Amino acid sequence: MIQRQDLLAHFDGLLQPERFKDYGPNGLQVEGKVKIRHLVSGVTASRALIEAAIADGADAIFVHHGLFWRGMDGRITGWMKERIRLLLAHDISLFAYHLPLDAHPELGNNAQLGARLGVQARGSFGEQALGLVGDVQFANADALAAHVQAVLGRPVTCVSGAPQQAIRRLAWCTGGAQGFYESALAAGADAYLTGEISEPQAHLARETSSTFIAAGHHATERYGAPAVAAHVAAALGLSHRFIEIDNPA
Ligand SMILES: [Zn+2]
């Protein structure tokens, strides 16, 4: 058992949110009970996750996607009211870390995805150095796409402007990082892997003779939260469970 403020201090110490310019507040987003025994982690603070955490007896929830984002109008109505009502009614704290959780060098989303893909990061690139690059050996774009598909257990979208060419340098950034494509190419990558694709990236892949793979926002971002939560829970003697709420996006 630990005090909520001590748990916050541990998360902050590990993830160093002050180093990032982010799209929402990192840290404690909703304050619950003072004493915490059981921690549930998940990707997104959706109603389904909150309900599953309540059923699991959680005192606190740790997520990558919290409740509050820049540009929201701030009203607590409808689905937002329901999420917050459930947390407050059960006195559950919500901890959310966005970019700091992507970036942690061992436990973060990008590092954990690299480890699962079997790619060692040799450097970083892009906004706030969030993306990673590593050396790989794939015969062509299809071989890389098949590997990613097998590791993540879901279909991927692969657009290649050089489908016969071997892939030697892979850049990756989890989630909705399709906007980093050009900086990945500038970092010397011949293939870039992220969660989502938008219309322009298909043309860019063809026109730069490179490969773009979208492997799912959720699928690429489901490893960091349980890694950090398990690490902190073990250090503090808390029980922990990761709850996967499937998301096709
Ligand atoms: Zn995300």
Taking the domain 2-97+223-242, which CATH number applies?
Answer: 3.40.1390.30
Residue span(s) of the chain under CATH 3.40.1390.30 come to: 2-97+223-242, 109-220
For residue 40, the CA-to-ligand 1 centroid distance in Å is 18
CA distance 28 to 18: 14
pLDDT at site 207: 98
Helix (H) or strand (E) holding 4: helix 4-15
pLDDT values of the chain reduced to their tens digit, one per residue, 249 residues:
999 999 999 999 999 999 999 999 999 999 999 999 999 999 999 999 999 999 999 999 999 999 999 999 999 999 999 999 999 999 999 999 999 999 999 999 999 999 999 999 999 999 899 999 999 999 999 999 999 999 999 999 999 999 999 999 999 999 999 999 999 999 999 999 999 999 999 999 999 999 999 999 999 999 999 999 999 999 999 999 999 999 999
- The two structure tokens encoding residue 144: 């890389």
For residue 135, the CA-to-ligand 1 centroid distance in Å is 25
> By C-alpha distance, which of 67, 7, 69 is closest to 34?
7
- Residues with beta carbon < 5 A to ion ligand 1? 175, 221
For residue 164, the CA-to-ligand 1 centroid distance in Å is 31
Taking the domain 109-220, which CATH number applies?
Answer: 3.40.1390.30
